[in-house]
Amino acid sequence: MLGNPVVKAFTRKSLSVFLAIIAGVAQSAVPTGWYIFRGVTAGIIDGSGWTNARSEDGKFSIRMPGLYSDRTVWSTPTREAPATSAESIVARSQDGVTISATRIQYNAPTAARMLFEKHQVEPLANAESFRHSVRVLDFEAVDDIRYDSKSGVVVIERRILDGSELFLLVAIGSSNAQTEDTVSTAFESLKIEDSSPVVVGLPPAAALPIPSNS
């Protein structure tokens, strides 16, 4: 699975466009946002190969199947991309499953609701798609599962709505029982330290610009 080129391609694509999605990349000559890594290859791996990952700015934690990165993004909200900031944790398991957990702040509850109902970070062409509603930590949530039988890739996405914020959990990997176990362990371990809206303030001087795609 680790060498599956299709899974690797989807992983690279999802990580490269992820900043654009949550930062609202637009056609412009100026940076569309700013980002900073609070941690890279962070965490302490325990005997089971997992680590307790924590978002410094996002005030949430989750079990991850490997060392993780912790990143914060600032963006100027637009009608097309109403996110104001986001805090994300990303890790990759030894068997090639990439998992990200993100807490996204929007400029209005209506914007968060819209993305909650329609958003898909990693669409798959010609894939079987399943969606069902769940309750997570007493919040309204939805699970999207998309499976491409030709490539054997599965994308599992959980969105949790909390007012003007959205928790977005995404897993990409080969479709098998081991991937399902990895995703279940990670997704079910999410803990929110503070449910009040996150305010990250202005980007620090060390933050890097997100260039436009023009």
Q: Which residues of the chain have pLDDT under 70?
A: 1-30, 119-126, 213-214
- Lookup result for tokens 């998309």: 146
Q: What is the pLDDT, as a whole number, of residue 208?
A: 95
Amino acid at 14: S
Q: What is the pLDDT, as a whole number, of residue 148?
A: 87
Q: What is the pLDDT of residues 1-39, one digit of tens each?
A: 334 544 554 455 554 445 454 544 444 456 789 999 999
Say which CATH number the domain at 173 has: 3.40.1000.10
- Specify whether the CB–CB gap between 144 and 157 falls below 8 A: yes
Q: CA 120 to CA 18: how far, in whole Å?
A: 11
Domain total for the chain?
1
Q: What is the pLDDT of residues 191-202, one digit of tens each?
A: 999 888 898 889
Q: CA 17 to CA 122: how far, in whole Å?
A: 9
Q: Domain range holding 73?
A: 5-210
Asked whether the whole model's pTM tops 0.95, one would answer no
Two tokens at 15? 């990580």
